[in-house]
Structure 1
Amino acid sequence: MVVFDYQPGRGREGPSDMLKSFKGHVQTDGYSGYNFLDKEKDITLFHCWAHARRKFYDALQNDKSRAECALEQIQLLYAIERTARDQSLDVQQTLALRQQKAVPILNALHSWMKKTYIETTPKSVIGRALAYSLKLWNGLATYTTDGKLNIDNNLVENAIRPVAIGRKNYLFAGSHEAAQRSAMLYSLFGTCKLHGVNPFEWMKDVLQKIPAYPVNQVAQLLLHNWNK
């Protein structure tokens, strides 16, 4: 399922409430509001290489040689992921490939970053890019420990792009309640897209059935259970 959740602020309260009974992996960018997840015993927090890579793209104008060196190594990591997809490797095969190919690249890149960081100015763009990756390093390397994990959270980034574009156009939701209702609709339509279901057909079918549908069985009408 796809879930969009609206919160009136960016504090830890939102993710803390949503994930209070969650067990598993959570992938995020480096925003400090998620740091508390690292202390949860049933949650493994790990991080996104796309966000780390973007920092080095931003540093190309500041220190081209160092930024390009980092980007070349990151590109090698992504090439391994493309190989796994192109060959339709399963979870165990993907894990084996990452352990064999990606881990040595990561180890060398980590050593290079630590050495290079002390040679740069901390407040420079390249210095901040290196500091970002080094601070999150364990989380950035976690994807190599499980074949079902992704190297980045671009699936989520792509899913929220319509929200970001829409937000620039309509500017305001009107109220917190209206924003929450919008999040609910985004969740439903996002799940339609995930399952390849025409949202108009689903809504028409559900709205016709729901008035007489047993309340204790209404979950059957959600996208992941729905049978037209």
Structure 2
Amino acid sequence: LDYAHQERFGDRRQKIQSKAKTSDSDRRKEKDDYDGTDDTLRTDSVGHVPSQELKEPSGKDRDLSNRPDGYKTMGVAGEATEHPSDLTKVPGRIIERRMVRVFSFRTFLTEECFEMVHYAEPGKKPKWGYFPSEGHPEVVTSFEGTRATPEFLQAIAYEVYVKNVTFGLLHQWLTDMGMTISKNTLRNWLKKGKTYLDELVCVLKSIALEKDSIVNCDETWCKVRKYDHYKKCYMWVLVNKAERLVIFFYEDGSRGRDVLTNFLGDAELKALMSDGYNAYVFIGDELKTHRYKDTDHQVCLAHVRAKFVKARMEGGDKRADVFLGNINRLFRFEREYDREMITDGERTRRRQGLPTMEAIINLRANLLQELKSEEEQKSCYMREALNYLHKFWNEAFTYIKDGRYPISNNLAERAVRPFTTKRKNSLHFGSDEGAEIAAVYHSIISTVKLQGRSAWDYLGKFFTGIFNGCRDFLSLTPQNIDLAVCQ
């Protein structure tokens, strides 16, 4: 019990290092030896800190190099609504006036009814029309094919695909606000918005797969309901860093090679980055001699590093440290290039310079040496890492050919992360159609985020533009949405 108290509260004998002496001083011994005379008074264990008044200046100025130029203040974009005081009601002399900022958030649902008139002009067929009275909206504000306004469609799309709210929770929220609606109706409204987003995704795909483009691709699993059972299916993602485009695609939940080749079509890509599994299973050596023979196939070096990390941490093989040291060195070079913001040409020259080549040569020498060593001395994780590096050696170091080539597939991994978050919340899709709708919405939202824009603002502008008759989808892309002209 005494030992437990020492571990929890510390030893009673508090020992500190004296500044004047190198030996430890015992506070209890100092107190016991003191008999009231000055000769026995010892204060070695007490830290004598000079007061602020007696503290001598250090002679060094305060470092202000990290102080920001300005500070972000709390506020809302746009003009604030001001509510001035009625000065005639002030009972005394006015000393000073100032505005006090208050933030309010109003969320409410309203139901609007537009009177439609069925009329017939002479010599023409009868038709329905809306003729607004003074002070009322000029047009019916419901989105075509739904009973929702563009703003309402913007809200439910943002809730489901940005905030990852399930349809059940969204339906509960609307019900609590007094709205009577079914979950299938909400899905149908999003499906109606998808018909226009499909056209936009086709435009983005044509831009992402332009000639000599450099793309990253990856895939992740999702659970989809198939009739009376659930099946593990796969969602694919392709990222074009130069154009800042992200496109998700889904083909009956398949993970086969045809999914990727059908999506790429006859695109003449300069380079395609993936992990080793996708490169081996979905790209294959035969494709290098067929449609994509002129495309450089890259394998993510971060995946190679992860294999050796696993061999070191789980396998306990210290020989993995040599490989990790050289791979970390290559990644350190890339971070230095990013901080210096060098051009692609300069990056190519440095990648092919002596420091990079020295690390690659060391990796190759150690790889050949370990492959020749006895198998019994290696853990299964180490053998897996060595075989992985040996199999994809050329693809892993293709990045040194061009400064525009990525060193890892982290761009696609980060792009697919919001989808995996939704997978944890929603658990499964009710059908293949639900997965396809999610792919389209995630393509648009991820592209908007990659371009540093607001997903909320873009969805609102897009649906409003479609409602107002704009069908020029090239002008409705995230980078051109502000230039879109509505008809």
Same fold (TM over 0.5): yes
User: Quick one: percent identity of the two aligned structures?
Assistant: 29
Q: Of 294, 308, 311, which aligns to 1:42?
A: 294
The aligned counterpart of 2:260 is 15
1:205-216 paired onto structure 2 within 5 Å: 205-215=461-471
Cα displacement string for residues 174-197 of structure 1 (whole angstroms, at most 9, x for unaligned residues): 111110110111110011111111
2:475 pairs with 1:220? yes
Q: Of 397, 401, 410, which aligns to 1:141?
A: 397
Distance 1:20 1:103, change over 3 A: farther
The aligned counterpart of 1:178 is 434
Q: Of 332, 346, 352, which aligns to 1:99?
A: 352
Q: Of 92, 116, 124, which aligns to 2:380?
A: 124
How far the C-alpha of 1:214 sits from its partner, in A, is 4.6
2:315 pairs with 1:67? no
Tell me the TM-score normalised to structure 1 length: 0.93
Kept after mapping to 2: 8 A contact 1:192/1:198? yes
User: Higher mean Cα deviation, 193-202 or 102-111?
Assistant: 102-111
1:102-117 paired onto structure 2 within 5 Å: 102-117=356-371
User: Higher mean Cα deviation, 85-94 or 54-63?
Assistant: 54-63
Q: Which runs of 5+ in 1 are unaligned?
A: none
Q: How many residues align?
A: 227
Cα displacement string for residues 38-57 of structure 1 (whole angstroms, at most 9, x for unaligned residues): 34223211110110100011
Kept after mapping to 1: 8 A contact 2:311/2:385? yes
Structure 2 distance, partners of 1:194, 1:17, is: 25
Q: Which amino acid aligns with 1:10?
A: R
How far the C-alpha of 1:158 sits from its partner, in A, is 1.3
1:80-95 paired onto structure 2 within 5 Å: 80-95=333-348
Q: What is the DSSP-based 3-state SS (H/G/I as helix, E as strand, rest coil) of the residue aligned with 2:327?
A: helix
Cα displacement string for residues 150-202 of structure 1 (whole angstroms, at most 9, x for unaligned residues): 11011111111121232133221111111011011111001111111111111
Structure 2 distance, partners of 1:184, 1:33, is: 26
Q: Which amino acid aligns with 1:28?
A: S
Flag as ranges the 4+ runs of structure 1 deviating above 4 A: none
Structure 2 distance, partners of 1:4, 1:43, is: 21
Q: Of 309, 315, 322, which aligns to 1:57?
A: 309
Q: Which has the higher contact order (CA 8 A, sep 6+)?
A: 1
The aligned counterpart of 1:33 is 281
Structure 2 distance, partners of 1:55, 1:92, is: 31
Q: Which amino acid aligns with 1:45?
A: H
Q: Which amino acid aligns with 1:46?
A: Q
When Rg is computed on C-alpha atoms for both structures, the one with the higher figure is 2
Tell me the TM-score normalised to structure 2 length: 0.45
RMSD, matched Cα: 1.7
Kept after mapping to 2: 8 A contact 1:22/1:42? no
Kept after mapping to 1: 8 A contact 2:461/2:481? no
Structure 1 distance, partners of 2:372, 2:403, is: 34
How far the C-alpha of 1:225 sits from its partner, in A, is 2.6
Structure 1 distance, partners of 2:351, 2:462, is: 44
Kept after mapping to 1: 8 A contact 2:311/2:379? no
How far the C-alpha of 1:212 sits from its partner, in A, is 3.8
Q: Which runs of 5+ in 2 are unaligned?
A: 1-244
Structure 1 distance, partners of 2:469, 2:365, is: 61
Structure 1 distance, partners of 2:446, 2:356, is: 32
How far the C-alpha of 1:138 sits from its partner, in A, is 0.3
Q: What is the DSSP-based 3-state SS (H/G/I as helix, E as strand, rest coil) of the residue aligned with 2:250?
A: coil
Cα displacement string for residues 91-121 of structure 1 (whole angstroms, at most 9, x for unaligned residues): 0111111111212311221121122123253
Q: Which amino acid aligns with 2:257?
A: R
